[in-house]
Structure 1
């Protein structure tokens, strides 16, 4: 399991739950919403064309993409998870520098790509601190659509005197020192087997930058934007998969993220084909959940909760998927009003979320709507059956456990919270609602 610094987000959450009732968190005064969040993405032909290309080709069209043109060269890569060394042709693209607009304490990159058999890609970020020093080039993920060529993975052990990569999240080690991230750029390296005509196609690359202050509580939002609206999102339970394929994060009890991702992917009418699912034991119900777990699995983290790997999985079915933060349930309501479900990440004690009946250090579920009185309707994969997945949680309780960055564990120690992390997954043709910080949606 990945290790998380006290102030970092719950990157690559474990999704394990405990049925013990737990202890109530100590009371803290409410705080204002003073978080800073920005999301920027590269996806248009002019954006691809303007980047620094070494062997990549920007292709215009209804959905522009970046691919390999004339490779920049060949390189040998030894997969640390198999020990196999292979030679690959490669090409690179580096974005223009993107200013954050504030001092950021975290960055999470996400990408949308198709990587057919015999291809894969690596995503890196490099930035400048507010003191003028540069970060290293950090690997944010090595990604393939399947697992036959490389083992999809994050990279451990990356850091410098100011920051660390925690699985899928760039995190400033100590914000009180005053050294934060002021700008960044992304580098994509595309790989293919030598002489192959196959190549990755990258349709989108982006990053969420944020500075969310320490907070145990948040001021409740006003609501009344999507009250009484509920989306017909398919319902899948992770718990019916307990014991299945333990090589992928121990089996179904830890599959909240891919189960949530699969629910939303299928809401948009996309799903694995029968041929895709042929590897799954035919006696297993909902084999697409097993498939999602395998194809989001991070072989370094040893879990299926890597945030950008989940949105990349959804995007591999022709959708748009991003990892971002939202400021409030009001913003989540805007997505529901637009017909877009939202996957959220949160941690809580059983006593903090009435009706959940479990405690968790990190869990994902899907906001599918709101009741007529503003409570949150979710598809919670930590349910006993598909029929039991729909749950209603009290609005004020939900908003606290989702948006806070600090929480008290059952033993009284202090843990971290996600600070409003969300997956946004939708068709490429569907406009996303404008929310604060979405500078080029």
Structure 2
């Protein structure tokens, strides 16, 4: 009986210890089945299936559904139902939300890891806000999973995957009378394990089961490399979103998008969910999705250019997959816009607007599909569909005039207090709310090279000048005279100033400047005719003064000379005699 008692005692001890252990095993719950690789929630029906805490869901004429803070609340949550999906390793969330000043939304997810038979903790993608200091990703790591900027990864080396997902969105406002508005939350996921790939979900059905053989590129081309010099080489993601939005009818500058999508924790512009969230602020159905070429062709055939995250080398001996005719030399991470496709002589090509080119026209590229396939190995795509809310915008346009400061050359001010153009304006553009970028164009003198090659000409396709400096007292400096070097005297040029802030304010104003006429040198005039009385006597060249000729001066000089000679002779006579010579 002793062995039996010993076993019973061990079992009893184990039962007592298990509740205290930091391990929990949860029975796998039933979830709502989802086909494909995309969860997308944006209707009143979707939101009402979840749990609303201090929040309400409603629909309107411009929205199929949205979640807001309940009246008088400053904090609330929406938690979705649980979804049953195909096993995945990686997941990326994205969202569309309005975030007025003083508000934010924070998207989280948890997943059920099958091999561990338990849920992960809630993991966050950070706070999405207009305040650049608060807007930032939240890198989090736990034993089972972690989020690194934009990717939720199920940890493990034994083929660990998750097959249940739940999403949560936190809504916050500093002011109970103002609320953020969640309009859509989405999640896409993929599995790279052999034989476990997940087929991407298509947003559109095919045209009678077939796609057109060719989609002509008809999309804006915008180079990131000619933008604000301090950020030009790192805003490919923002420039791609700008290109996608402009293709749908907006007229934005890449800097406007860049200032709004900057991630203060990541300290960069390439956060995928943040980038598409900017498109959502303009009222578009925008999300991140793991995609394939079928999805890409499907979107293009329906009039939607697509952003792709790629890495490539434009030379065959480069560090990354070779992409012939690539706009960048070597890039470990880059966003490009795909605008069309075509098969030529049996080879499929995709047309691209690649922002890494040195000019707008240079962005227009054609890439082989097989090479693009290798460059696009991560399969991340930016999807932007038509505008859902016609009045939505992330930009607050402010009317202002540019006024010369009296008594100070090349110094100007804006007649508004909405934007403070002090010496910290540009320096703090990525740190302090309300700071940003200013630049200039000159009407009629701002054409970019090869403009005739561009499919469409927009505001971004002008030649911008960033030679604006700022003063502590809130004025700015630029030199029209220097910029008008080619102007004719008396010619008037129109200077256009653009001011963009990291919280969405925008000023576009102009100033007419006339180049001063050259100072005229007075023509020589003839002297008045001389009269006999007025005419001065002619003078000759100067000569040595003549000897004075007054009275007996000549005779006196002769007598003195003779006396000097006689005295000298007497002196010599007596000296010789004395010396014996």
Indicate yes or no: 2:130 matched with 1:140: no
Indicate yes or no: 2:329 matched with 1:365: no
- CA RMSD for the aligned pairs? 2.2
Asked if the contact 1:141/1:168 (under 8 Å) is kept, the reply is no
The residue that corresponds to 2:137 in the other structure is 154
Shift of 1:428: 4.7
Aligned to 1:291, which of 240, 252, 256?
Answer: 256
Aligned to 2:366, which of 370, 392, 414?
Answer: 392
The residue that corresponds to 1:49 in the other structure is 48
Asked if the contact 2:159/2:193 (under 8 Å) is kept, the reply is no
Deviation per residue, 1:282-312 (Å, 9 max, x gap): xxxxxx2111111111111111000010110
Question: How far, CA to CA, are the matches of 1:107 and 1:37 in structure 2?
Answer: 13
Residues 94-243 of structure 1 mapped to structure 2, 5 A cutoff: 94-100=79-85, 102-130=86-114, 131-144=116-129, 146-147=130-131, 150-156=133-139, 158-174=140-156, 176-195=157-176, 197-213=177-193, 225-241=211-227, 243=229
Asked if the contact 1:56/1:71 (under 8 Å) is kept, the reply is no
Question: How far, CA to CA, are the matches of 2:104 and 2:51 in structure 1?
Answer: 20
Shift of 1:388: 1.0
Asked if the contact 1:237/1:381 (under 8 Å) is kept, the reply is yes
Asked if the contact 2:223/2:360 (under 8 Å) is kept, the reply is yes
Residues 225-264 of structure 1 mapped to structure 2, 5 A cutoff: 225-241=211-227, 243-244=229-230, 251-264=231-244
TM-score, normalized by length of structure 2? 0.54
Question: How far, CA to CA, are the matches of 2:338 and 2:247 in structure 1?
Answer: 13
The residue that corresponds to 1:69 in the other structure is 70
Shift of 1:141: 2.5
SS in 2 for 1:239: coil
Question: How far, CA to CA, are the matches of 2:117 and 2:168 in structure 1?
Answer: 20
The residue that corresponds to 1:435 in the other structure is none
The residue that corresponds to 1:423 in the other structure is 382
Asked if the contact 2:239/2:258 (under 8 Å) is kept, the reply is yes
Shift of 1:48: 1.1
Question: How far, CA to CA, are the matches of 1:194 and 1:52 in structure 2?
Answer: 23
SS in 1 for 2:254: helix
Question: How far, CA to CA, are the matches of 2:42 and 2:260 in structure 1?
Answer: 24
SS in 1 for 2:141: coil
Asked if the contact 1:231/1:339 (under 8 Å) is kept, the reply is no
Indicate yes or no: 2:42 matched with 1:38: no
Aligned to 2:76, which of 91, 103, 106?
Answer: 91
Asked if the contact 1:231/1:336 (under 8 Å) is kept, the reply is no
The residue that corresponds to 1:301 in the other structure is 266
Residues 394-409 of structure 1 mapped to structure 2, 5 A cutoff: 394-402=368-376, 404=377
Question: How far, CA to CA, are the matches of 1:308 and 1:187 in structure 2?
Answer: 15
Shift of 1:270: 2.5
Question: How far, CA to CA, are the matches of 2:89 and 2:160 in structure 1?
Answer: 9
Shift of 1:123: 0.8
Question: How far, CA to CA, are the matches of 1:265 and 1:161 in structure 2?
Answer: 39
Shift of 1:164: 2.0
Residues 367-382 of structure 1 mapped to structure 2, 5 A cutoff: 367-373=338-344, 374-382=348-356
Aligned residues: 329
Asked if the contact 1:377/1:391 (under 8 Å) is kept, the reply is yes
Deviation per residue, 1:136-191 (Å, 9 max, x gap): 111112101x226x5211112x12223221111101233x4232111111111111
Aligned to 2:298, which of 313, 329, 334?
Answer: 334
Asked if the contact 1:106/1:211 (under 8 Å) is kept, the reply is yes
Shift of 1:226: 4.1
Task: Say if 1:297 and 1:344 are closer, same or farther in 2 by CA, change over 3 A.
Answer: same
Task: Say if 1:136 and 1:289 are closer, same or farther in 2 by CA, change over 3 A.
Answer: same
Question: How far, CA to CA, are the matches of 1:320 and 1:331 in structure 2?
Answer: 16
SS in 1 for 2:245: helix
Question: How far, CA to CA, are the matches of 1:303 and 1:46 in structure 2?
Answer: 36
Question: How far, CA to CA, are the matches of 2:283 and 2:89 in structure 1?
Answer: 32
Question: How far, CA to CA, are the matches of 1:71 and 1:205 in structure 2?
Answer: 24
The residue that corresponds to 1:282 in the other structure is none
Deviation per residue, 1:96-131 (Å, 9 max, x gap): 11111x221011000011111221111111121113
Where relative contact order (Cα < 8 A, 6+ residues apart) is larger, the structure is 1
Asked if the contact 2:188/2:290 (under 8 Å) is kept, the reply is yes
Q: Rg: which structure is higher?
A: 2
Note the residue ranges of structure 1 that are not aligned, 5 or more in a row: 1-35, 73-88, 216-223, 245-250, 273-287, 405-417, 431-441
Deviation per residue, 1:233-290 (Å, 9 max, x gap): 111101112623xxxxxx1101110000000011111245xxxxxxxxxxxxxxx211
Question: How far, CA to CA, are the matches of 1:355 and 1:267 in structure 2?
Answer: 23
TM-score, normalized by length of structure 1? 0.71
Note the residue ranges of structure 2 that are not aligned, 5 or more in a row: 1-34, 196-209, 317-321, 390-581
SS in 2 for 1:300: coil
Question: How far, CA to CA, are the matches of 2:212 and 2:101 in structure 1?
Answer: 42
